[in-house]
Amino acid sequence: MSTDSSPQRSPVPSERLAELGIALPTVAAPVAAYVPAVQVGDMVYTSGQLPFIAGELPATGLVGVPKNTPEAPAAARPEVTAEAAYDLARTATLNALAAIDDLAGIDNIERIVKVTGFVASAPGFGGQPGVVNGASDLLGHIFGDAGTHARAAVGVAELPLGSPVEIEVMAQIRHSAK
């Protein structure tokens, strides 16, 4: 039996991603006049990230739209379930982490400070916090306690390119960042 009471060192984020079988994607090219992330002092702010996979949105439409209603015919407004939107929030968060990694290095993240999640919501849909948990849960798995953060989960009428979700991340970077 060991008498060493020192805490176990948590894996660095890149090691934790590997343990989880997750590879950061290539930074998504901006779709307008902005950059993916900006560093000011020890803070990195990402632009809103959409859930692109290899340059494509895997789904578009509003979250929580009932199919074939007079207000939103299925052909006009594809339904995105809250469960699918949760996964899309996770993907958008990976894109945000890729932008931070490209700018400052993922292993230089001291802590995640704030996440803002926008959910393109059908009228009456109030499950935005559950959708944005896709981002928060992933950050907790990767960063442990340093992944807990302040957060806003905002329902909006529409997002760029018809995306169901958009995620922004603010992270504090160690002073020795690249």
**Main-chain dihedrals φ then ψ at residue 71, nearest 5 degrees:** -75, -30
**Main-chain dihedrals φ then ψ at residue 156, nearest 5 degrees:** -130, 160
In a domain, 7, yes or no: no
pLDDT of residue 78 exceeding 70: no
* 125 Cβ contact list (under 8 Å, min separation 6): 62, 63, 64, 65, 82, 119, 155
In a domain, 94, yes or no: yes
In a domain, 48, yes or no: yes
Alpha-carbon distance values, 15 to 18, 36, 71 (Å): 5, 24, 48
pLDDT of residue 153 exceeding 50: yes
Question: What's the average model confidence in pLDDT over 58-86?
Answer: 78
Q: What was the pLDDT predicted at 175? A: 74
- Decide: helix, strand or coil at residue 60: coil
In a domain, 130, yes or no: yes
Question: What's the average model confidence in pLDDT over 39-56?
Answer: 97
The model's pTM is 0.88
Q: What was the pLDDT predicted at 6? A: 39
In a domain, 23, yes or no: yes
- Structure letter (DSSP) for residue 117: E
Q: How far apart are CA 113 and CA 166, in angstroms?
A: 17
- Please provide the average confidence, as pLDDT, over all residues in the chain: 90
In a domain, 104, yes or no: yes
Buried b (16+ CB within 10 A) or exposed e, 96-124: bbbbbbebbbbebbebbbebbbbbbbbee
What is the count of structural domains for the chain? 1
In a domain, 106, yes or no: yes
pLDDT of residue 7 exceeding 80: no
Place of tokens 């970077």: 173
In a domain, 8, yes or no: no
CA dihedral sign of residues 116, 96, 91, 77: positive
Range of the domain at 64: 13-27+35-173
pLDDT of residue 176 exceeding 90: no
Assign residue 94 the CATH number of its domain.
3.30.1330.40
